[in-house]
A and B are shown apart, each in its own frame.
Chain A
Amino acid sequence: MGATRKRGPQLRGLPFVLPYLPFLILFGIAPMVYALDLAFTDAGGGWVGVDNFTRTYNDFRFMPAMKHVLIYTTVWLGALMVFVVALALLLHGRASRASSTFRFLYYLPGALAGAAAVLVWLFMLDPTVSPASFLLHHVLGADFFAQSIAPGNLPYLFAMMAFWTGAGGWIVVMYGALNTIPPDLEQAARIDGANAIQIALRLKLPLIRKWIAYMLILSFATGTQLFVEPEIVQHASFGLVPDTWSANQLAYQLAFRFADFNGAAAIAVDLLAIGLIGAVVIVMRTGLFRADD
């Protein structure tokens, strides 16, 4: 630095961004484009319109897979929306040392994301060793592992696993969001006569609307892409849970067992579209981009 001619500030900052660009293109934009391309072409590269989409749609495994994912996502988002917000509000109501201990405890399972969490829950779902064998027997009617993972239970079990690992982090985020509410507002509400529940529902909840929307958008998109949990349970249950239980698993099988990359891409694009549509719906329902308060 000591150039005598100044570079216009027109390019200020660009050198810092340059190293990032190859990554953005190679692992972000190009794959997106490539996936779109694959979805609309055949194995030889020729354009086939929506053939891949209709073909995969008509695949006998497609609808069940989509149905599984739909139920799973709905249950998971519902649990997140209700319990994360409720727990955050409860914790925030009377902040104290106990509150921060609880937050820590809720947050801890997040360290076991993915494969490790599934393994833990495999044990929890095995009535012979699980501390919850009482619940397994009475709620699921299960005395053996194979009964716990009966097909009808799967979406709920997976949702519970995802909730177990993911809720804590979001509770911490919501709690932090609640902390940005100026204490004056709460005091004003109390003077106006609001009790704790009213303050929680009418004052705090609307003010963290934005964060709830973020949580739902991100979780919806990841939810539809469910893979790890059913894949590992499939390994553990050999034969009981099909290897195309979720839509993403179907895509994986199409790509790597049947070398049908185009079909797999079509499914990936389906999931992408669903994720985006979900995001749009959530944004509209929560008024995320309304003129800010």
Chain B
Amino acid sequence: MANVTFDGVSKVFGDGTRAVDALDLEIHDGEFMVLVGPSGCGKTTALKMVAGLEEVSVGAIRIGERIVNDLTPKQRDIAMVFQSYALYPHLSVRDNIAFPLKLKKTRKDEIDRRVREAARILDLEPYLKRKPRSLSGGQRQRVAMGRAIVREPSVFLMDEPLSNLDAKLRVQMRADIKRLQSELEVTTIYVTHDQVEAMTMGHRVAVLRKGELQQVGPPEDLYQRPRNMFVGGFIGSPAMNMLAATVEQRNGTFEVVAGETRIEAGGEILATHPALASYEGREVVLGIRPEGLEDALLVDGSAGRPRLRGQAVLREALGAETLIHFSAAVRPAVTDEVRELAEDIGDDRAPALTGDVEAATLVGRFSSQSKIREGDAIDVAIDERALHYFDPSSGDAI
């Protein structure tokens, strides 16, 4: 049992790339901390530095009270589950799990006991004699976990352990891992690029981008109060719609204007986003989560609400709700963050985002009762309380 601290930790590779930049992060004892971010953000490098598989260039990493920078992996009392599972192909499941104990010269009966216990917890008892090559992906994953828990270490490190599994299995394993961790109460650092995994599993989630920590906190915090545009766009699926808007003052009240849509920035909004007033006459980025949009026909009193007019382009009926992609006469936000987020999901239409585009495609999460069909002209109601505002150049939340 121990906490893990990153103290101004940086990792610079031989060719000058900064994989991790001045990371300050404290992971509490027994906590399940998820490091999440797009590929190349430094999360795996950070994890490997805790493991001792990468050297720390600057700063200190502490496990418990010890600074561990100069310790070999085996001296740090940690266990790791690799993305590729890294099972020893020439050893049986039993020997794989027993391997670290044999190295520590644990007594044979103790080894037997611990291996049997781990096999029981992970439902591996029927497979103990088999070799890894005759196991399925899910079974191999559990063997990798067994090898980790049998050592009863201070810290668990997991590097995207579920990314090689199919979708259904992944959902189930998420629950299993989460349950296991709360039973064993071992400090766990879990790396993933899947924000859904991050949100469902972690006590706290740390979002990294290009080696820098963007925000850390409980999942709800990240969702409801993103500190910058990147976090806002990364967390939540479908992603937050990002629009270019300006702040104007009319008749003594502030309004946020996007296309022909005017949103009154009344008392409530100004109370929660006081700095908005100082952006008068300037551009801001308006973030609207899909769940903050609804079919205007289904909302009572929607006449008084700010609206978006547009045309439905794609309808995805999911049963419990309906996703509508629609185009509206508003300008999309075009910043580095937006481009990076688009690339991360494999959307290489990014070139279309450069330059001045007069219409954007937004996504809304509507009730399943909406009768909107593709091609319809639609009215979309906006929930003003669920809007986010960001500075276009710094990306920070306003």
Indicate if A touches B (C-beta under 8 A).
yes
Which residues from chain A sit less than 8 Å from chain B, CB to CB?
3-6, 8-9
Report A-chain residues with C-beta under 8 Å of the C-beta of B71.
Answer: 4, 6
Task: Say whether A9 contacts B75, CB under 8 Å.
Answer: no
Other A-B pairs beyond A3-B72, A9-B55, 8, CB < 8 Å: A4-B71, A4-B75, A5-B70, A6-B52, A6-B70, A6-B71, A6-B72, A8-B55
Complex Cα gap A8–B71 (Å): 10
Q: What is the CB-to-nearest-CB distance from B114 to chain A, in angstroms, rounded to a whole number?
A: 22
Contact bitstring B35-76, A, C-beta under 8 A = 1, else 0? 000000000000000001001000000000000001110010
Report B-chain residues with C-beta under 8 Å of the C-beta of A9.
Answer: 55
By the criterion of a CB under 8 Å from any partner CB, how many residues of chain B are at the interface? 6
Report B-chain residues with C-beta under 8 Å of the C-beta of A8.
Answer: 55
Complex Cα gap A51–B52 (Å): 60
Smallest CB gap from B73: residue in A: A6
Q: What is the CB-to-nearest-CB distance from A41 to chain B, in angstroms, rounded to a whole number?
A: 42
Complex Cα gap A165–B229 (Å): 70
Report B-chain residues with C-beta under 8 Å of the C-beta of A6.
Answer: 52, 70-72
Smallest CB gap from B70: residue in A: A6
Report B-chain residues with C-beta under 8 Å of the C-beta of A4.
Answer: 71, 75
Report A-chain residues with C-beta under 8 Å of the C-beta of B75.
Answer: 4
Q: What is the CB-to-nearest-CB distance from B356 to chain A, in angstroms, rounded to a whole number?
A: 39
Q: What is the CB-to-nearest-CB distance from A211 to chain B, in angstroms, rounded to a whole number?
A: 28
Q: What is the CB-to-nearest-CB distance from B344 to chain A, in angstroms, rounded to a whole number?
A: 29
Smallest CB gap from B103: residue in A: A1
Complex Cα gap A244–B277 (Å): 99
* Contacts between the two chains (Cβ within 8 Å), count: 10
Which residues from chain B sit less than 8 Å from chain A, CB to CB?
52, 55, 70-72, 75
Report A-chain residues with C-beta under 8 Å of the C-beta of B52.
Answer: 6
Q: What is the CB-to-nearest-CB distance from A44 to chain B, in angstroms, rounded to a whole number?
A: 49
Complex Cα gap A8–B52 (Å): 11
Q: What is the CB-to-nearest-CB distance from B41 to chain A, in angstroms, rounded to a whole number?
A: 23
Smallest CB gap from A9: residue in B: B55
Complex Cα gap A45–B51 (Å): 58
Smallest CB gap from A4: residue in B: B75
Complex Cα gap A34–B70 (Å): 45
Smallest CB gap from A3: residue in B: B72
A-B contact pairs, 10 of them (CB 8 A): A3-B72, A4-B71, A4-B75, A5-B70, A6-B52, A6-B70, A6-B71, A6-B72, A8-B55, A9-B55
Q: What is the CB-to-nearest-CB distance from B49 to chain A, in angstroms, rounded to a whole number?
A: 12
Complex Cα gap A119–B72 (Å): 60
Complex Cα gap A9–B71 (Å): 12
Q: What is the CB-to-nearest-CB distance from B213 to chain A, in angstroms, rounded to a whole number?
A: 26
Smallest CB gap from A7: residue in B: B72
Complex Cα gap A4–B70 (Å): 8
Q: Which 3 A-B pairs have the closest CB atoms?
A: A6-B72, A6-B70, A5-B70
Report B-chain residues with C-beta under 8 Å of the C-beta of A3.
Answer: 72
Report A-chain residues with C-beta under 8 Å of the C-beta of B72.
Answer: 3, 6
Complex Cα gap A9–B70 (Å): 11
Complex Cα gap A3–B55 (Å): 17
Q: What is the CB-to-nearest-CB distance from B103 to chain A, in angstroms, rounded to a whole number?
A: 10
Complex Cα gap A3–B72 (Å): 9
Complex Cα gap A6–B75 (Å): 10
Complex Cα gap A8–B14 (Å): 14
Complex Cα gap A3–B75 (Å): 9
Complex Cα gap A4–B68 (Å): 11
Complex Cα gap A34–B108 (Å): 58
Complex Cα gap A9–B52 (Å): 10
Q: What is the CB-to-nearest-CB distance from A5 to chain B, in angstroms, rounded to a whole number?
A: 6
Report B-chain residues with C-beta under 8 Å of the C-beta of A5.
Answer: 70
Complex Cα gap A8–B57 (Å): 12
Q: What is the CB-to-nearest-CB distance from A180 to chain B, in angstroms, rounded to a whole number?
A: 21
Complex Cα gap A4–B66 (Å): 13
Complex Cα gap A144–B317 (Å): 93
Report A-chain residues with C-beta under 8 Å of the C-beta of B70.
Answer: 5-6
Q: What is the CB-to-nearest-CB distance from B4 to chain A, in angstroms, rounded to a whole number?
A: 18
Smallest CB gap from A5: residue in B: B70
Q: What is the CB-to-nearest-CB distance from B66 to chain A, in angstroms, rounded to a whole number?
A: 12
Complex Cα gap A8–B55 (Å): 8
Smallest CB gap from B72: residue in A: A6
Report A-chain residues with C-beta under 8 Å of the C-beta of B55.
Answer: 8-9
Q: What is the CB-to-nearest-CB distance from B102 to chain A, in angstroms, rounded to a whole number?
A: 14
Smallest CB gap from B69: residue in A: A6
Complex Cα gap A156–B377 (Å): 86
Interface centre among B55, B71, B72, B75, by most chain A C-beta atoms within 10 angstroms, is: B72
Interface centre among A3, A4, A6, A8, by most chain B C-beta atoms within 10 angstroms, is: A6
Complex Cα gap A8–B70 (Å): 9
Smallest CB gap from B53: residue in A: A9
Complex Cα gap A6–B74 (Å): 11
Complex Cα gap A88–B75 (Å): 54
Complex Cα gap A9–B55 (Å): 8
Complex Cα gap A9–B54 (Å): 9
Q: What is the CB-to-nearest-CB distance from A11 to chain B, in angstroms, rounded to a whole number?
A: 13
Complex Cα gap A3–B71 (Å): 9
Q: What is the CB-to-nearest-CB distance from B58 to chain A, in angstroms, rounded to a whole number?
A: 16
